[in-house]
Amino acid sequence: MAVIRLTKENFQAEVMQADKPVLIDFYADWCGPCQMVSPIVDEIAGERSDIKVCKVNVDEQMELAQSFGVSSIPTLVVISGGKLVKHAVGAQPKSAILDMLEAVE
């Protein structure tokens, strides 16, 4: 499944109305740790059809980042049923990201 680029315009439909858990990667192009996490998130998107995987460029979507209280990047969140259920700040290994997803199934 492809990674969805979130904006404030598509956030409600893609995340809050999703019928499965949503993993969101808050990142910036200039952020070194974000560049390490990004291919992992892309890989998970390709492997898992039971979740939705999205990314938010915090430089382009400051309003969305602020609504989640993102002050450090990368920040990963899992939304399920329209509610924030998991949250992690900083570069995470694939196993930790998968653990975040397992907790909501």
Q: Could you list the pLDDT tens digit for every one of the 105 residues in the chain? A: 789 999 999 999 999 999 999 999 999 999 999 999 999 999 999 999 999 999 999 999 999 999 999 999 999 999 999 999 999 999 999 999 999 998 775
The token pair at 77 is 């969140």
Instruction: Tell me the residue range of the domain where 58 lies.
Output: 4-102
Confidence at residue 2, expressed as pLDDT on a 0 to 100 scale? 87
Counted residue by residue, the chain has a size of: 105
Which positions are catalytic? 31, 34
Any bridge partners for residue 89, and if so which? 75
Q: Is the dihedral of CA 45, 3, 76, 92 positive or negative?
A: positive
User: Could you tell me the CATH number of the domain that includes residue 19?
Assistant: 3.40.30.10
Domain count, the chain: 1
Structural Rg of the chain based on CA atoms: 12
The pLDDT score that the predictor gives to residue 104 is: 74
